[in-house]
A and B are shown apart, each in its own frame.
Chain A
């Protein structure tokens, strides 16, 4: 077997006490960086780059450290989603929907263990997928042009309405607010500024991290102040962490399906982990149906997005290694590191530099097992970091978030924006309008608009171009069905329930 021979080559390089130590350190730092709101995987990796150079690490050692941080941050994001209802990073956004209700119901430990396990399955399968399918999957990117990408984002949007279970109109309103914010910045097809008020700081649009920290962390502070700290949501206790084997087993198909879908979302350049976790959550929600109880704190609701976003993290490495096209912000940073280490990613990398590729894959597998150990038996360590009294924790988290945001651009303007988003989040939550669709609107809206307009440029404005391939037609039909089906099916589904009420 080729793969086994290559893998043993990889382990031969990656499995030394020194690199193992780097993997453990990287996983630990990564998990903390991921858990802190405002600091995501891309910040974590970017912060550590100078360190790898000043330590004089060679290519493999540097990659082991940085990918451990990457995977660690993907694991860590869920911790604050579940315990604080503040996503630690963008991909962990969907985990708040069921993770936090679980934690409120006193099952924080279960939620952390199940999601940790799901993260492991997702990341593990994605690494296997990277190993087996990478040369094959690099061709997939060639099948996706503007029309296909547009259809993909359309599919994501058509299911947005279903995200909040109690009031679809409010969810739709929230996603429109997000879309409006996504319009700010340079117009993608003319390069001219739009709704920036002439302010240079707005030329690049609004960063999702700014919106997340504002809408979640800062608005939480406002609630905390309003209630004089009495009824704060924060400060959930985790007494005993046991492994709910039966529940993990009950989510086995959810984990497998989500891993596959998440991996695929990661492979597509530009789609990335956030879209992966979003689509897996919506898929599992519709498979489970009304009775699945998604949004009320069910095991599948935390397993799906975590398996999805970790699988997407692995998937994003496929186009980065085989095409040199980063599938996410973090892989863009990793790509830069590779280039600085004189490794040119591209179609020839697998044959020209096998020691780098297989060393990387072996180190991903190692990191994954280290992270499973850290995030299941030792999860209490991370919980303790977040379980200081709310009066200390909330300002602390906000301060760290602010530092993280400041490190994005090094300008105070983003900090003002964070506070403005905090006020927006406070108002929205008072009106019982969900904030998650706002973020998704910002996250997906910009790309969706750009792809549509690129498609129109290529086709001279012929809308039929959007149906020019099987992939795009299929995705558009799926999104129309996904949008309409709940409206008609609800009548049939809810009637018997109404009677029994």
Chain B
């Protein structure tokens, strides 16, 4: 009987500590299993090994906490020269960095390697909603800002909240603090609130809503992409005269103090994943659109996004 208990302890210990010795590369998903970052880490790690870019399977570690802030500060403070470490990132990472939500950490404390897919932003209403186009919705808000409440899967000030605000600003509406938004547990929950009539519109990612679209419960007013998402006959915001692109990119960052050669090497490896047939399949299966930016290009794009987000966040009062 003692043996069993010790066995259990040994097994748990094995689960906890196996990360250090047996694997060459580690990918940190800064959230619990199940979210977008976890998905990014697991898929990229698997493909890196399958196409032979790394010699041993990549160890995926979940380091949840502070919306990714815990992993960020660990990388910055404790592992800033570890060249066998990659960390999953997305629009949420840059949004939080721009809003100083990582306890004073800034985007220049790590290096952004690249993005290899994007989840298109969408604005959605219930199938029985009176709003037929994005401009119907915008006009209703212009007439009475309190008449439309948005639900989204991120907290107040998060990426899902910023999307409709960007749309409204681009359409010439400036009282964005009057726009109602509630943050719920994920996109599917935001949809149930909208279909249930508690909120009038939902803001989220394409992948979160595909199942509901097939069931005929919702109508997508616009995708926030440059071109229509392949396979879906849905107009973009740009087509409707509102010049906004907001996609939730999926990519990686690495510690700051690795050498430029190592940084370039990670960029090349990520590019190889992006080009692989396996990754094309993963994107198709999960409603992701192609969006590849790697290396220095990506770093400067991230800097722009952070600056824009900072400005918008200041306007809505999330930061001072």
Residues of chain A whose beta carbon lies under 8 Å from any beta carbon of chain B: 32, 36, 39, 46-47, 49-50, 53, 141-146, 186, 188-192, 198-201, 203-204, 269-270, 323-326, 332-333, 335-336, 339-340, 342, 344-349, 352, 384-385, 387-388, 392-393, 396, 399-400, 403-404, 406-411, 454, 457-458, 460
Contacts and interface: CB of A to CB of B under 8 A. Distances in A.
Interface centre among B1, B6, B99 (most CB of A within 10 A): B1
Nearest to B73: A200
Interface stretch (B117-125, B190-198, B235-243, B254-262): B190-198
Contact of A404 (B12, B70, B157): B12
Given A191-B101, A332-B34, A342-B285, A347 B215 contact: yes
A409 B64 contact: yes
A198 B64 contact: no
B276 interface: no
A189 B197 CA distance: 20
B103 interface: yes
Contacts of B2: 388, 392
Given A204-B64, A204-B65, A146 B198 contact: yes
Contacts of B34: 332-333, 335-336
18 contacts: A186-B155, A191-B156, A270-B189, A323-B191, A325-B186, A325-B188, A326-B185, A326-B186, A336-B35, A339-B39, A348-B211, A348-B215, A392-B5, A409-B65, A454-B184, A457-B182, A458-B149, A458-B182
Given A191-B157, A200-B73, A47 B15 contact: yes
A144 B103 CA distance: 35
Contact of A203 (B35, B67, B181, B212): B67
Interface in B176-219: 180-186, 188-189, 191-193, 195-199, 208, 210-212, 214-215, 217
A460 B146 CA distance: 8
B196 A143 contact: yes
Given A145-B196, A204-B65, A336-B39, A411 B70 contact: yes
Contacts of B191: 323
Interface centre among A333, A344, A345, A387 (most CB of B within 10 A): A344
Given A191-B157, A385-B5, 20 more contacts: A53-B46, A145-B196, A145-B198, A190-B318, A191-B158, A200-B66, A203-B65, A270-B185, A270-B189, A323-B188, A344-B210, A345-B211, A385-B4, A385-B8, A387-B1, A396-B6, A396-B9, A410-B61, A410-B62, A458-B182
B214 A346 contact: yes
A364 to B, nearest CB: 20
The 7 closest A-B pairs by CB, nearest first: A346-B211, A336-B34, A145-B198, A347-B215, A203-B66, A142-B196, A324-B188
Contact of B39 (A269, A270, A340, A400): A340
B300 interface: no
A228 to B, nearest CB: 22
B143 interface: no
B12 A409 contact: no
A204 B214 contact: no
Contacts of A458: 149, 180, 182, 198-199
Contacts of B67: 186, 203-204
Nearest to B60: A50
B163 interface: no
B192 A323 contact: yes
Give the size category of B's interface with A.
Answer: 35 or more
Nearest to A47: B15
A460 B208 CA distance: 28
Interface string B61-87: 111111101100110000000000000
B310 interface: no
B70 A409 contact: yes
B33 interface: yes
A392 B215 CA distance: 56
B286 interface: yes
B21 interface: no
B32 interface: yes
A409 B157 contact: no
B204 to A, nearest CB: 12
A393 B6 CA distance: 10
Contacts of A324: 188, 208, 211
A362 to B, nearest CB: 23
A339 B60 CA distance: 18
B42 A200 contact: no
Contacts of B215: 346-348
Contacts of B195: 142
B112 interface: no
Contact of A409 (B63, B101, B212): B63
B199 A203 contact: no
A356 B316 CA distance: 45
B286 A339 contact: yes
Contact of B183 (A188, A387, A400): A188
B192 A141 contact: yes
Contacts of B149: 457-458
A326 B32 CA distance: 14
A339 to B, nearest CB: 7
B189 A325 contact: yes
A28 to B, nearest CB: 11
Interface string B8-32: 1100110110000000000000001
A200 B318 contact: no
Contact of B214 (A186, A190, A270, A348): A348
B192 to A, nearest CB: 5
A146 B5 contact: no
B263 interface: no
